[in-house]
Amino acid sequence: MRKYLLIKVFMWFWGTIAATLVLLMSVSLLQPKLLETRQLSPAMLKNLHHLQRTLERRADNRPGQPLTNLLPGRNRSHGPKIYLRHSDELKSVLGHPALQDWDLSLLNFTVNAPPQVVDTEQYRAFGPLNIRLQGESYQLFQLMDHRDPRVLTKIRLLPAWVKILILILASFGFSLWFTRSLLKPVRQLQQAAAALAQGKLDTRANISTSRQDELGQLGKDFDLMASHLQAHVTQQKRLLADISHELRSPLTRLQMANGIASDKAPEPLMPYLQRVEKEAHLLEHMLSDILQLSRLESQQQQLSLHAISLTDLLGPILDDASFESQQLGKEVNWKTLPDLTLTADDMLLGRAFENILRNAIKYASKQVTLDAQCDDNRLSVTICDDGPGVSDAMLEKLCIPFFRASEARTPEGIAGSGGFGLGLAIAQHAIKVHHGHIQFRNHGGLRVTVELPINKHVL
């Protein structure tokens, strides 16, 4: 039978009640002597006075008779039982044999007390009333045995604060158990969904297969969805990589044919052939980026790690960027780089910084700045441009392949100059395989911060 949440809620509800009763019984059994007093009702007090007058009349009408024979109800197993307490315990009179088994000493505190109701775990007593019979002074009690089980009577006699405390403890314990049982799979699903949203397609909720309720089924459906999503994305990436790989051969033949045609073509056709060559180079560059991105995403990129100083890594890139920016009427400024020696794949990591820097130059208005800082165990490289920036909603999408933020990031008058949307995606994965992190923020223009843990890269 499937354990639906309805059944679990039902069991939790009645389990809490059962646990409360068990705790009440356990605590009550730890109390050997329990009693409770309260005010006597007018009707019961009137009844007690009537019994007093009856006994006095019987004692006057039957002088010499034992008091035991004068007491009503001495032959009945149920109903009121009379107890005449004397200051000398040996002279006290028990109106029923059952009273011998009851602990009547619990009534000793009422010697000088007014008539009241006294509840004990064995009986309920009404009294005392002073009465004089056959020349002796007694205190009259009328006793009744409890019809309820002894344990329930003990529970009823527990102090109110004990009952409330037990109820709170029992309900808290069962609520904690039920809540943890209910929220554990929800928390697993939440964490898995967050990881899946970050691109970790191999994430699974991994809810126990023994859980057969709705949350267990939801976990299975989530894992199935994640598996299908991973399969589709992997298939898409593989298809894109395969197509890119297969296109390189006809592209190479196209470039060779274009080169031969350029040697033999008349002068009027040369601008068109040069255009074909330019577009072929762009296509080749795009295919190369796609293949590298595919290898990075599938973790098939072979890293060639060796020691290189930060100056040797970024220096040539900054020099080239400065030269290119001058041709566009812009400038690249940077401060002295920290004296660090990294263990990294200089080609891959250098290309990441180059892509970020070229992207900043492309969209800058006049200036690009680079600042490298070393704090604690992290190297932080910040690249800022003074361009139009990116809307906050688009910041997290900048590293998605083939994504373009908006026309605001495309310089005016340069149609199609926004690139293929692969440079930042490659940069992100290249930094990721070096255990780093890339972050985008708007600060006038776009600010890109790359952080690398030094303890994983510095010799």
Q: Looking at residues 15-21, what average pLDDT do you find? A: 75
Q: What is the CA radius of gyration of the chain?
A: 47
Q: Looking at residues 446-450, what average pLDDT do you find? A: 91
- pLDDT at 267 (0 to 100): 83
Cis peptide before 128 (omega within 30 of 0): yes
Q: What is the mean pLDDT of the chain?
A: 79
Per-residue pLDDT of 28-76, as tens digits, reads 555 555 667 778 888 888 999 998 898 888 888 888 788 888 888 666 6
Please say if the pLDDT value at position 11 is more than 80: no
- pLDDT at 297 (0 to 100): 66
Q: What's the pTM?
A: 0.49
- pLDDT at 459 (0 to 100): 35
Lowest model confidence (mean pLDDT) among 48-57, 89-98, 171-180, 413-422 = 413-422
Per-residue pLDDT of 155-164, as tens digits, reads 565 666 677 7
- pLDDT at 417 (0 to 100): 45
